[in-house]
Amino acid sequence: MIKFKDNFYFGSASSATQSEGAWNEEGKGKNIWDYWYETERFRFHNEIGPYEASTFYKNYKEDIKLLKETGHNSFRFSISWSRLVPDGFGEINKKAVEFYNNVIDEMLINDIEPFINLFHFDMPMCMQELGGWENREVVEHYANFAKICFENFGDRVKRWFTFNEPIVHVECGYLLGYHYPYKVDPKGAVQVAYHTSLASALAIKNYKELNQKGKIGIILNLSPCYPRSENKWDLKASFIANLFANKSFLDPAVKGCFSEELIEIIKKHELMPNYIKEDLDIIANNTVDYLGVNYYQPRRVAARASLPNLEAPFMPEYYYDYYVMPGRKINPHRGWEIFEKGIYDIALNIRDNYGNIEWLITENGMGVEGEEKFLVDGIIQDDYRIDFYKDHLRWLHKGIEQGSNCIGYHVWTFIDNWSWLNAYKNRYGLVSLDLNTQKRTIKKSGKWYKELSEKKGF
């Protein structure tokens, strides 16, 4: 039997924009997703936007009851900056404070520990109009928002995160044109990345000064970079891919500094951000207490087969090609490789290269399109999801046995939720959601997850 410690965290993760709905109710301001959907809804799968999501704002009591019924002893959710502080930095929305207080209290009544994340891709539109993360002023407004959260909820919440997957708003918003403001601006991307690390450090500084006796970290989507072969050029390609994909945020968050090799590349391409020494000191002196890790798939790379286009905007792929490994296991619905051992390699990397800092898996999951075809007697028979969890948990357990300081496993996600540009194309939940009626039904995986949590293993 695979057995975890009695105090191991089992739970799931969500985000405000993907779950709350009530996008313009009770004083909430617009975020970039509300605005983008309002102005260009053709970009969203089946033109479904975030206005309703999974109606957590209205149905949180029922949902927390379902968290209990699916074995959660912890749950990670995010606070909507645009709901709590509608104009970004001014007056606090009392209705939002009341809502988040109610959610926290309801969770604690049900013995579910809240893990709160402060930013999950959801920049308030008024802050984006100032330039978003490109603007140092927005960094200060975010740090103030974080302090408001700590002051209102930190008496009961003892596990915080500053950001979820910050590299996503860098890559998708400022390099690849996938997310708003859908720019292709390498220098802007580097500025955004630097300001995000600074914002995280400032939030940590504010938290420590309040002395609330909790822990604060950051959530990174780590993707181990595997070379195609042991050829020195393939090895170099994977080394550079790792600098961008993982170390860019992992090093400043845990070590308080940026990788020298990464800085050299940024300088070579004349992409250095604007910064001052005092800000570097803030990053150096305000590192995380613990780390959240989202793991979905590996990153396989090879030496470039052709010269990069020197006329094109800089991309990290200037230094490597992506490599599709023959015979790989794949999720046919999502198109992502399934490589369970990656979670073990992450565990040992944290143990060996990052001071064996306390960490947990904050997302791991399998999205499936057309999941209704697995409906039998009213319940989704998602054995494939159970197998996915088991296979990853075996490798995670092996990493823990070898000394990695992992304290929990959160899946993505509790209930089928709205997912950015993909809307409801892929379902990830332990609980299924009927979009027409908002009826919630626990899937087979949700029942299994309760057994897992109660037995602390399988």
Which residues pair with residue 138 across a beta bridge?
none
Task: Decide if 311 is inside a domain.
Answer: yes
Number of domains in the chain: 1
What is the four-CA torsion angle of 283, 165, 12, 147, rounded to 10 degrees? 40
Structure tokens at 390: 């088991």
Q: pLDDT (tens digit, 0 to 9) for every residue of the chain, 458 residues total?
A: 999 999 999 999 999 999 999 999 999 999 999 999 999 999 999 999 999 999 999 999 999 999 999 999 999 999 999 999 999 998 999 999 999 999 999 999 999 999 999 999 999 999 999 999 999 999 999 999 999 999 999 999 999 999 999 999 999 999 999 999 999 999 999 999 999 999 999 999 999 999 999 999 999 999 999 999 999 999 999 999 999 999 999 999 999 999 999 999 999 999 999 999 999 999 999 999 999 999 999 999 999 999 999 999 999 999 999 999 999 999 988 889 999 999 999 999 999 999 999 999 999 999 999 999 999 999 999 999 999 999 999 999 999 999 999 999 999 999 999 999 999 999 999 999 999 999 999 999 999 999 999 999 99
Q: What is the reported pTM?
A: 0.97
Strand segments (E) across 295-352: 299-302, 321-322, 330-331, 336-337
Contacts of 164 (CB under 8 A, 6+ apart): 15, 78, 117, 119, 120, 121, 219, 292, 294, 362
Task: Decide if 31 is inside a domain.
Answer: yes
Residue 165 annotated among the catalytic residues of the structure: yes
Domain range for 204 is: 9-455
Which helix (H) or strand (E) element contains residue 400? Answer: helix 383-401
Task: Decide if 404 is inside a domain.
Answer: yes
The active-site residue out of 134, 171, 340, 363 is: 363
Determine the length of the chain.
458
CATH classification of the domain holding 219 = 3.20.20.80
Task: Decide if 2 is inside a domain.
Answer: no
Task: Decide if 4 is inside a domain.
Answer: no
- Residue 315, exposed/middle/buried by CB under 10 A (0-12, 13-18, 19+)? middle
118 in Cβ contact with 78 (< 8 Å): yes
Cα–Cα separations (whole angstroms), residue 281 to 197, 204, 219, 258? 12, 13, 22, 12
Helix (H, G, I), strand (E, B) or coil at 124: strand
Task: Decide if 3 is inside a domain.
Answer: no
Structure tokens at 127: 């802050």
Task: Decide if 74 is inside a domain.
Answer: yes
CA–CA distance, 105 with 127 (Å, rounded to integer): 30
The active-site residue out of 134, 165, 171, 371 is: 165
268 in Cβ contact with 319 (< 8 Å): no
CA-nearest of 295, 254, 286, 255 to 146 is 286
Task: Decide if 38 is inside a domain.
Answer: yes
CA–CA distance, 339 with 166 (Å, rounded to integer): 23
